Chains A and B, each alone.
Chain A
Amino acid sequence: MASAEQPRRGRLRARAYLWTAVAALALIAVCAPLLAPHAPDATDLAAQLQAPSRVHLLGTDFLGRDLLSRLLYGARATLLVAAAAVLLAAGIGSVAGLMAGWTQGWAGQFWVGLFDLMLAFPALLLALMIVAVLGPGMPALAAAVGIAGIPAYGRLVRGLTRTLREAPFVEASRALGGGAAHILFRHLLRNVARPVLSLATLDFGRAIISVAALGYLGLGAKPPQAEWGLMLFEGRQYISVAPWTSFAPGLAITLAVLAVTLLGDALAE
């Protein structure tokens, strides 16, 4: 939401910072095993709930596990699952939206009805129920959070497709003998890519929070997995003696969501 009065150069610089932050997050998620000073699930009952020190830069949790290492591995779990969820939602949602916008009559109405039906549930509630059906495991978690995100993309792309189907370049392609599949995937998909990307960036924030919330509720990642929401839940019991065990994952979630949300805002302009 950087305002229009801001000089253009400042906005570009802000965007560059945000890209850097998001790239750093991705790098941490991918390189967690290289960066982590300890094994994420190595318990040390002699070193429970230790304050940050030189050996354990962020301290240890209730099983004496190194918090920094768990935080890095947690980036892997939380962010990669969220990223997979967004890819799934954007992919299926965009294709469904293209179909919904292209087909007329009851086929188009079917998609609209389906999107509306999915939107009749609060997104987190839908994810919660799907994850209950799919059972434990990170792929199930990604699928649940992803499916709950589909209708947002479907609606966006359907609206764009309906406007674009009458556009001169579509007419031209049709006149040249372009079939529906050619027009849809060759021309329309390219034109909806930008709005979809900007929605996906914002949606990444929702996905991170959903993954962590499900972990926190005991319906997502299962112990001893290092996942930010689950870590926060495990830390909350010790908040008065070892606040760092819940502060670190909480701050990590907030910063990650902040980075992608601000980037999404910048891209939406």
Chain B
Amino acid sequence: MMAHSSSLLPMLRRRLIVALLTLLGVATVVFLLVRLLPGDPAETMLARAGAGPEAVASLRAELGLDRPLPAQYADWLGRVARGDLGRSLLNNRPVRELIAEQWRSTAILAAVAFGWALLTGIPLGIIAARYRGRWPDRFATTLAVLGVAIPIFWSGLLLIYVLSNWLGWLPPPAGTPASALLPGIVLGFAAAGPIARVTRATLLDVLAQPYITAARARGLRWRAVLWRHAARNAAVPVLTVAGLQLGFLLGGAVVTESVFNRPGLGRLLVDGILWRDLPLVQGVALALALTYVLINLLVDLLAGWLDPRHGWQ
């Protein structure tokens, strides 16, 4: 235990440094990708308004597009570090404000989906491991594979169709807490599969260990074996895959929000790309990647705390 706590701080420091470097890399990638977008954004923006070349030039100057790339990069990094993400070209509002408005919707969706994925994935995995090779295992396994194979944009559409056309049920109005339930379940179902698979695989792995056989030989019941011995050892792999799935949910939210016509960061990003709204795309991509990096850092630290061996790697 002593060795464990003394190794925790350096690990924490190392992970934080790596996370910071990753964030800097992410910011660079986002900057470069968006600068590489085809077409002059100033021209694209003003063409819609029918403005002349002087207006285009002044907007270029305003956006800093007439300056050399390294200068633009340094300038952009400095502003991002201060939390200034620029203004949307579409409606001239600060990107930070737009993100602040929409992130709650995406966070609620991701939370419902993640909860649903854990609530269904872990029990399915346990049941599959408990009845290995028998029908509950096959059922759980099939469900897990289906969750991965059915694209969100189809399962969501199917669910809406069945509920509204067959059961005459209308989706709850947007903005209410209940409105997150349906998209959350659809998105969560897609993430439950990998969680169930890892739960099953690690449990089977743990259950094959000699100390489990010993515990069983002492007459310990399956339930007791599961909670007292297997659960602790299976926690880290399940946690790791759950973290990965949370990242997947962020990507999946982009699609889910479009299917369910729900506001959120994903919709904002897609709209930004479709309208060539550079600052908006940069800001939202940065916000999503930032969240993803933080989640991974959290999962890493949690795994190190749960299993000291993890930190020694």
Contact = CB atoms under 8 A, between A and B. Distances in A.
A229 to B, nearest CB: 7
Nearest to A235: B157
A196 interface: no
Highest count of chain A CB atoms <10 Å: which of B153, B160, B269: B153
Contacts of A166: none
A219 B274 contact: yes
Nearest to A5: B133
Nearest to A121: B289
B252 to A, nearest CB: 7
Contacts of A120: 22, 25-26, 289, 292-293, 296
B293 A219 contact: no
Nearest to B196: A1
Contacts, number: 133
Contact of A254 (B33, B149, B285): B149
B149 A258 contact: yes
Interface stretch (A33-41, A46-54, A186-194, A236-244): A236-244
Nearest to B193: A261
A99 interface: no
A5 B154 contact: no
Contacts of A257: 148-151
A82 interface: no
B255 A217 contact: yes
A111 interface: no
A125 B251 contact: yes
A211 to B, nearest CB: 10
Given A129-B281, A258-B145, A116 B22 contact: yes
Given A1-B197, A217-B258, A122 B248 contact: yes
B153 A125 contact: no
Interface in B23-39: 25-26, 29-30, 33-34, 36-38
B273 interface: yes
B216 interface: no
A250 B269 contact: no
A200 interface: no
B66 to A, nearest CB: 21
A233 B145 CA distance: 24
A236 B156 CA distance: 11
A232 B153 contact: yes
A258 B148 CA distance: 8
A130 interface: yes
Contact of B151 (A3, A212, A240): A212
A143 to B, nearest CB: 13
A132 B274 CA distance: 8
A147 to B, nearest CB: 11
Given A3-B133, A216-B258, A124 B251 contact: yes
B165 A240 contact: yes
Nearest to A127: B251
Contacts of A236: 157
A193 B164 CA distance: 49
Given A1-B197, A113-B25, A213-B151, A132 B281 contact: yes
Contacts of B254: 124-125, 128, 217
A135 B33 CA distance: 12
A217 B37 contact: no
Contacts of B26: 117, 120-121
A254 B38 CA distance: 33
Interface in B104-146: 132-133, 137, 141, 144-146
Interface of B: 18, 21-22, 25-26, 29-30, 33-34, 36-38, 132-133, 137, 141, 144-146, 148-154, 157-158, 160-161, 164-165, 197, 200, 247-248, 250-252, 254-255, 258, 269-270, 273-274, 281, 285, 288-289, 292-293, 296
20 contacts: A1-B144, A113-B25, A117-B22, A117-B25, A117-B26, A121-B29, A122-B250, A124-B252, A125-B285, A129-B30, A129-B273, A216-B153, A216-B258, A217-B254, A229-B153, A240-B161, A246-B157, A254-B149, A257-B150, A257-B151
Given A120-B26, A125-B285, A135-B38, 15 more contacts: A1-B145, A3-B137, A5-B132, A120-B25, A120-B289, A125-B288, A128-B254, A129-B281, A133-B37, A205-B148, A205-B149, A218-B274, A239-B160, A253-B154, A254-B149
